[in-house]
């Protein structure tokens, strides 16, 4: 019962888009982290994490985003997040200042445009 979350990856040019569906908590944050790290080849310019279908994130999931941002920064790759306006997750991402390491966009088009 460790994977209540599902990671689907697709390439848009040099940008990797990872759609995160389901729930991420301390039981599966390690797995999701692993999937996301594997999804980004050295040649990619950016990773976009799409949270449109994400129903739950806890502090372990937020920590994962910070860790990922640091990792990508070392490799000079950008990290951006897609969160539709009005998402229930909005307040928590603001509170934890996720935007400071990964700019939050309200649509995939905007995130792809950088």
Partner 1 sequence: MTGDSGHELRRRASQQAAVAELGQRALAGTDLDELLREVCEAVARELAIEFASLFELTGDGRALLVRAGHGVPSGVLGGAVASAEGLPGYALRADGPVVVRNFADEERFRPSDIQLDLGIVSAMAAPIGTRGRHFGVLAAGSPDFRSFSGDDATFLQSVANVAGAAVERARADDLVRDSERRFRELADSAPALMWMTDPDGHVTFVNEGWLRFTGRTLEDELGATFGSSAHPGDREALLDSWASAMAGRDEFRAEYRLHRRDGEYRWVLEVGVPRYEAGEFLGYVGTATDIHERKAMEEALRASEHTFRELADHAPVMIWTTDAEGLVTFVNRGWLDFTGRSLEEELGATWDLGVHRDDARAVTADWERALAARSGWEREYRLRRWDGQHRWILERGAPRYEGGRFAGYVGSATDIHERRTMEERLREVYEREHRIAETLQRSLLPERLPLIEGIAMAARYLPAGHGEAIGGDWYDALELQDGRVALVVGDVVGHGLRAAAAMGQLRNAFRAYALVESSAAEVISRINRLAVSGGDDTIATVLLLLLDRETGELSYTSAGHPPPLVIGGDEARFLDEGRSVPVGVSEAGVFREATAVLEPEAALLLYTDGLVERRDTPLDQRMDELSRVAQRGGQGLEELCDRVLAGLLGPGERGDDVALIAVRAEVAPVLRISVRLPAEPAALLGLRRRLARFLHAAGASEAERYEITLAISEAAGNAIEHAYGPGDASFQVEAVVEAGELVASVRDTGRWRESRGAHRGRGLTIIEGIMDGAEVVPEDGGTVVRMRRRLAARVPA
Residues that bind partner 1 (CB under 8 A): 1-2, 4, 23, 25-27, 30, 34, 55-60, 62-63, 66, 88-92, 95-96
Residue (44 or 55) nearer to partner 1, CB = 55
User: Tokens 């990964």 belong to which residue?
Assistant: 102
| Cα 53 versus chain centre, distance | 12
Least Cβ distance, residue 50 to partner 1 (angstroms): 18
Residues facing residue 20 across a β-bridge: 7
The residues, ordered by sequence, that sit 6+ positions from 94 with a Cβ below 8 Å of its Cβ are: none
Residue (12 or 38) nearer to partner 1, CB = 38
Least Cβ distance, residue 18 to partner 1 (angstroms): 17
* Contact of 47 with 18, CB cutoff 8 Å: yes
């Amino acid at each position: 019962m460790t994977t209540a979350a599902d990671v689907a990856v697709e390439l848009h040019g040099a940008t990797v888009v990872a759609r995160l569906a389901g729930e991420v908590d301390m039981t599966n944050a390690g797995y999701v982290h692993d999937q996301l790290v594997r999804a980004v080849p050295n040649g990619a310019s950016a990773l976009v994490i799409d949270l449109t279908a994400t129903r739950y994130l806890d502090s372990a999931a937020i920590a994962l985003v910070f860790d990922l941002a640091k990792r990508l920064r070392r490799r000079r790759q950008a990290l951006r997040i897609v969160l539709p306006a009005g998402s229930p997750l909005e307040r928590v991402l603001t509170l934890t200042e996720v935007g400071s390491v990964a700019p939050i966009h309200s649509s995939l088009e905007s995130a792809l445009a950088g």
